[in-house]
Structure 1
Amino acid sequence: MLTDILKQQLSQYLTLLVKPVVFTLDAGAGQNGEQTHAFLTEVAALSDKLTVQTGHLKRQPSFTIDLADGEPSGITFAGIPLGHEFESFVLALLQVSGHAPKMSAELRQRIEAIDEPLHFETFASLSCHNCPDVVQALNMMSVLNPKITHTMIEGGMYQAEAESRNIMAVPTVFLNGQEWHSGRATLAELVNLAVGQPAVAPVSTATQEQLYDVLIIGGGPAAGAAAVYAARKGLATAVVADHFGGQPLETVGIENLIGTDYVEGEQLMQQIQAQLTKYHVTLIDGQTVTALQPGSPVTVMLTGDNQLRAKTVIIATGAQWRQVGVPGETEFQNRGVAYCPHCDGPLYRDKAVAVIGGGNSGVEAAIDLAGIAKHVTVLEFGATLSADAVLQQKLKTLANVDVATSAKTTAITGDGRVTGLQYLNQADQTAQQLNVDGVFVQIGLTPNTNWLGDTVARNQHGEIIVDRSGATNATNVFAAGDCTDSAYKQIVIAMGAGATAALGAFDALVRQTAD
């Protein structure tokens, strides 16, 4: 089950185990249980500090990770934590064995002070880029506080339970049996939610009083490139974002980054974040920017009445999935309407799904889903698909995929969850009905710029208008990436635009000094 490379990597981590750890397995009957037993047996064989024992647990198959001679950690994995959850598994092993979770002393104290039973369950998929942040955060809380427990439930293996609990998107977290949270979240945000406070990370007084040379708003490739270029110029640089990673976190494989044959989106952003650390860029994470006031300095307002100040600001807030805007889309979000096939696709195994959009994103989603779903229907508004020829050729080889062109989606229907989709065949003006369990919307992106209001000039699409140096029409404010009026939205282009905006900001700072 574990490849030789994975075994070698895991063996290196297992040398860091402090105290002996025991896996308590309830395999149950069937192939899933056999595979879980085989997984744990392979892992335990790599270290004499690991053992496997059997026991009775709530779900079969599942296993706990505990100190061999200590109190239970509260951590359970229901399923085999491979894919993106393998890191969660390794971190849980190390933390249970005695390695302190990485967090601030203040956050640790808040977790340890929780004085009521909190039993978390997180439905995740192994292909989800957003799930590990939540799983790892709740695992850390369980390690630090004996009143907290957490179970990661692999949605693909426990599809029947996911359906019975009406779960159609991951990560979805239950607290003490009640649905509690859905979507990406940081440790600080989850702790705030758990103690009944607003889900916003605190900003220190020192951070608010600091006057940065360059403050970058956003956490994607454009923001990362801008930060690296600004910091290398010797400028006091900070990045403020709700989370660092941006759109690449929802991209499994990137094969058009020049000089790099293949890299996963998450890996790319981890490498960029490591560069920010190398160049001493201040990362102000878990924040939502609500407004900015141009001037000297520029003032940036955050949720919770916090403010940041900088001599120049670069807006690199990227874009989000564009919505269809039909009845049922909002009502059934996370109940059959999804935007990330990599994250939520495993929940639709052997089901019928529709993909709205015939561009590269839509056809790539259909190809991915064809290996999971029973049937996939691609709906393209235009008369022909617009995806690259190589993708269209691949699509034609898939027997369980149909394509409907000139299809205008008119409604998404259901009863508590999606059961169908209605569209107009624009060629003959006939109304059509599809019986589907899920709808994946892949019709492009819309810029994350509504929060700006009239502060900077935007075009009719909401994109920020910039000049060749990345400058906006507002004093000391620059912009880069998918939130701007750049002709093409690509990672490599966003990176170049981020570098351009940083150089533009540097030039503006030099001129301020000269004046």
Structure 2
Amino acid sequence: MSLLTDENKRQIGELLERMDEPVTIHTFTDDCETCEECLEFNREMAETSELLSVEEHEFDGEAAEEYGATKYDHGPVQVLEGGDVSGVNYFGLPTGQEINSYITDIVELSTGDPDLSVDLIEAVQEIDEPVEITVFVTPTCPHCPGAVQTAHRFAMVNEHVTGEMIQSQEFMEVAQEYGVRGVPQINVNGSDGEFTGNLPPQQFLSEVKNAL
């Protein structure tokens, strides 16, 4: 059964017309409740642009270790890869409000032009140690996509940065471990730093640097 209507596909296709270079969605699945739905969703997404492709992987395969998909013990996981960038990660279904950040990430990976000011890009590139920015979301949260996009944009401009979206309802044990009560909750290197809300990018970066 198709998850995207013809109108959905038309709209997504129009947005993806801005793509310049190929982007691959690496999708890692096991026997999780939403894994088949996630596979079908990504397959249908890939039908909307010749520059978008899906590589499907078993959760217990070598690629899962290589791309860090096994970090939270189950699927579904998507790693977006464009050019030499592969630090843009989605743990859970990127549907609901998160389809907005998903499409934006694909386009910006493809164009190599994340929506950050030159000064902010330079400031992000000053980070010279590994940083994991984890953004906990729910599918209905209208403020979450903005926080996800900021984390992922930082990952696009600095190879030391990895941005993770985690759907709290699909990864409940992880959300409980990090004490998530409101979203978007952003954690930096696990418990090194924590803040909440879709902050302006400059303030978001200040919070990240304060945690280092």
Compute the TM-score of the two structures, normalised by the length of structure 2.
0.86
In the other structure, the counterpart of 1:192 is 206
Match of 2:42 among 37, 40, 44: 40
Contact 2:24 2:81 in 1 (8 A): yes
Contact 2:101 2:149 in 1 (8 A): yes
In the other structure, the counterpart of 2:188 is 175
Task: Trace 1:370-409 onto structure 2 (pairs within 5 A).
Answer: none
Match of 1:27 among 29, 50, 59: 29
Task: Trace 1:401-480 onto structure 2 (pairs within 5 A).
Answer: none
Q: Mark the runs of 5 or more structure 2 residues left unpaired by the alignment.
A: 58-62
In the other structure, the counterpart of 1:160 is 173
Question: Using the alignment, how far apart are the partners of 1:71 and 1:104 within structure 2?
Answer: 21
TM-aligned CA deviation for residue 194 of structure 1 = 2.1
Structure of greater Rg: 1
Q: How many residues align?
A: 195
Q: Does 1:137 align with 2:139?
A: no
In the other structure, the counterpart of 1:61 is 76
Question: Using the alignment, how far apart are the partners of 1:87 and 1:102 within structure 2?
Answer: 14
Larger relative CO (CA 8 A, sep 6+): 1 or 2?
A: 2
Q: Mark the runs of 5 or more structure 1 residues left unpaired by the alignment.
A: 198-515
SS in 2 for 1:83: coil
Matched to 2:130, the amino acid is P
TM-aligned CA deviation for residue 17 of structure 1 = 1.1
Deviations 1:285-305 (A, max 9, x none): xxxxxxxxxxxxxxxxxxxxx
SS in 2 for 1:46: coil
Deviations 1:256-285 (A, max 9, x none): xxxxxxxxxxxxxxxxxxxxxxxxxxxxxx
SS in 2 for 1:134: helix
Question: Using the alignment, how far apart are the partners of 1:80 and 1:190 within structure 2?
Answer: 24
Deviations 1:193-231 (A, max 9, x none): 22339xxxxxxxxxxxxxxxxxxxxxxxxxxxxxxxxxx
In the other structure, the counterpart of 2:94 is 81
Matched to 2:5, the amino acid is T
Question: Stretches of 4+ moved more than 4 A in 1?
Answer: none
In the other structure, the counterpart of 1:4 is 6
Question: Using the alignment, how far apart are the partners of 2:205 and 2:95 within structure 1?
Answer: 26
Match of 1:123 among 127, 136, 142: 136
Deviations 1:71-110 (A, max 9, x none): 2330001111122111100110011112412232211111
TM-aligned CA deviation for residue 113 of structure 1 = 1.9
Question: Using the alignment, how far apart are the partners of 2:181 and 2:209 within structure 1?
Answer: 27
Matched to 1:195, the amino acid is K
Contact 2:124 2:157 in 1 (8 A): yes
Question: Using the alignment, how far apart are the partners of 1:196 and 1:119 within structure 2?
Answer: 14
In the other structure, the counterpart of 1:51 is 53
Question: Using the alignment, how far apart are the partners of 1:184 and 1:95 within structure 2?
Answer: 19
Question: Using the alignment, how far apart are the partners of 1:190 and 1:21 within structure 2?
Answer: 26
TM-aligned CA deviation for residue 180 of structure 1 = 1.6
Report which of the two has the higher share of helix. 2
Q: Describe the shift of the 1:30–1:194 C-alpha distance in structure 2 as closer, same or farther (beyond 3 A).
A: closer
Match of 2:84 among 71, 76, 85: 71
Matched to 2:152, the amino acid is N
Contact 2:116 2:153 in 1 (8 A): no
Compute the TM-score of the two structures, normalised by the length of structure 1.
0.37
Contact 1:73 1:96 in 2 (8 A): no
Contact 1:122 1:135 in 2 (8 A): yes
Q: Describe the shift of the 1:99–1:6 C-alpha distance in structure 2 as closer, same or farther (beyond 3 A).
A: farther
Matched to 1:46, the amino acid is T
Question: Using the alignment, how far apart are the partners of 2:175 and 2:166 within structure 1?
Answer: 9
Question: Using the alignment, how far apart are the partners of 2:34 and 2:119 within structure 1?
Answer: 41
Deviations 1:28-58 (A, max 9, x none): 1133111111111111111221221123112
RMSD after superposition: 1.6
